[in-house]
Copies of this chain bind each other. A is one copy, B any other.
Amino acid sequence: MRDEKFCSSNCPFTRAIGTIGNKWKPMIINVMGTRSIRFGQLDAIIPFISRKVLTEQLKELEEDGILERIAYKELPPRVEYKLSEKGLAFLPILEAIKVWQRDFEAIEGAGNLADVGDLIPHQ
């Protein structure tokens, strides 16, 4: 869900967080990337999400101009989603988050390796 109090703030950063500041929207944008993708594919690829929540999040992303929804009048129905210019402009930010995570996880990972070593029985 969007946070209405945040979205109506006079601070641009707060508005941005109110718009995309939950766990699903960055996941969806990241999975979409530069391709067109169908609802069923998103449902299959994104871990743990339910169809109900996916529908909600996609609708909000469309309302916020981050993606475009194209419904083909076929049977069975076919709907494709693709990022708008605004959504595409967000991808570099998600890439930066990946780099950030990996850079500083390597440091923590060193600690975990030590823990694994501790599992080897000592004599």
Contact A17 B13 (CB under 8 A): no
Q: How far is the CA of A107 from the CA of B64 in the complex (A)?
A: 12
Q: Are B18 and A23 in contact (CB under 8 A)?
A: yes
Residue of B nearest to A31 (CB): B13
How many interface residues does chain A have, given as a range? 35 or more
Say whether chain A's binding surface is mostly helix, strand, loop, or mixed. Answer: helix
Residues of B contacting A105 in the complex (Cβ-Cβ under 8 angstroms): 12, 15
Specify which chain B residues have a CB less than 8 angstroms from the CB of A19 in the assembled complex: 101
Residue A115 at the chain B interface, CB threshold 8 Å: no
Interface string of A91-117 (1 = CB under 8 A from B): 011101110111111011000000000
Is A47 on the interface with B (CB-CB < 8 A)?
yes
Determine the chain B residues whose CB is within 8 A of the CB of A86 once the complex forms: 100, 104, 107
Q: Which residues of A contact B (CB under 8 A)?
A: 3, 5-6, 9, 12-19, 21-23, 26-27, 30, 47-48, 65, 85-86, 89-90, 92-94, 96-98, 100-105, 107-108
